[in-house]
Amino acid sequence: MPDSSYLIDEIRDMLLDCGLFNSLSPSEVLSVASYFNISQFKPDAIICNEGDAGSFMCIIHFGAVSVRKTNSSGEQVELAKLHKGRAFGEMAVLDGERRSASCIAVSDCTLLMLAKDSLDKMLQEAPKSAAKLIRAIAVAMSKRLRMVDGQLVEQQI
């Protein structure tokens, strides 16, 4: 088992590699790294189910994840396939609502996970870094929403 400083350095490197937190300085990334965990998932493993309580968010370091939602006929429809650097589950962690979709590993996956209680703890212990982290997540979510808005407009034509 690696010592905790080695693990924190590894998580810091993964966070820097994902590109999501480019607005944070290297020391801020190191500061938030201690609040994350690394998890591994095999293909077809369920990471979270639609309707579950949103107790964590993930950032993909390696592998691919399918985001699926149940339609009115009860069938699962794939909304997106996410790859390295993409975050998911952040809506439920930020707003406290239930999961809006299910996430299933498509391949072997290495995920950086941030639990809601760890985010709350970060807000208490390192509020400036936590605020920058939340802002980076909000910017990424905003970009995705703008992209989806554009896709919806194109479908109307």
Structural domain boundaries enclosing 144: 4-156
| Strands lying side by side in the sheet with 37-41 | 37-41, 109-115, 56-62, 87-88
d(CA 11, CA 40): 13
Q: What is the pTM of this model?
A: 0.86
d(CA 129, CA 134): 9
Which of 146, 73, 62 is CA-nearest to residue 112? 62
The CATH number of whichever domain residue 69 belongs to comes to 2.60.120.10
Q: What is the pLDDT of residue 1?
A: 45
Structural domain count, the chain: 1
pLDDT in tens, 92-127: 888 888 999 999 999 999 999 999 999 999 999 999
Q: What rounded mean pLDDT belongs to the chain?
A: 89
Which of 106, 22, 102, 103 is CA-nearest to residue 70? 102
Token pair 């591994």 is at which residue?
Answer: 40
